[in-house]
Chain A
């Protein structure tokens, strides 16, 4: 069985500061990893995904994430936060034998002016 742990249900950063959202996973097989963002009253939008190949993955809106197998982590970063980044962020994992995504509990990102 696979699982995802997102450390910190709420993260607050100042506008212009580094954003770091943490995600650790467990999976019995090499995982596929995803970050989704959910804005208020909207569905989920894919930010980026890791399947194979380069472990540093770049996504939309300036976000990137690095797959670290030794640490079973897939943390999401952005060098400089913008007010429009305020949203709920979900890390998800999919193994090669399942089609549904297993999501973490989510991290609410707050941007302070």
Chain B
């Protein structure tokens, strides 16, 4: 158990809909990262937040957005869903602020999103 929790475990929805994925980082970790794992694209970094502020962006679509709240939990919002958005979405956390990329990222168990 990494100490990172994600809810829900599974999510099934229809095209065009909007969903919210939730992540609680390990106690004491200030950085939260979101990754998408799909069969065709593999594991891709989406976005990072540090202590409530966006710090880095990866291959995140404009239909996707995220935020980190004062209690440090984070939410990933996916809107206007398409079939291709079906994937496993991971959240990871670390102590690190931007620039300390040596710190280990601890991954949650993931949320499996199925878009029908």
- A contact set with B: CB distance below 8 Å: 32, 36, 41-46, 49, 51, 90, 94-106
B110 touches A99 (CB 8 A): no
Jot down 21 A-B pairs with beta carbons below 8 A, ordered by A: A43-B107, A45-B2, A45-B107, A46-B105, A46-B106, A49-B102, A95-B101, A96-B101, A98-B56, A98-B101, A99-B33, A99-B48, A99-B56, A99-B96, A99-B101, A100-B35, A100-B48, A102-B45, A103-B42, A105-B42, A106-B43
> Across the A-B interface, how many residue pairs have beta carbons closer than 8 Å?
61
List A contacts of B96 (CB < 8 A).
99
In the assembled complex, how far is the CB of residue B8 from the closest CB belonging to chain A, in whole angstroms? 14
Query: What is the size, in residues, of chain B's interface with A at 8 Å between Cβ atoms?
Result: 29
In whole angstroms, how far apart are the Cα atoms of A49 and B35 in the complex? 19
B48 touches A103 (CB 8 A): no
Q: Does B20 contact A (CB under 8 A)?
A: no
Given contacts A98-B56, A100-B47, A106-B43, 5 further A-B contacts (CB under 8 A): A32-B102, A43-B109, A45-B107, A49-B102, A99-B31
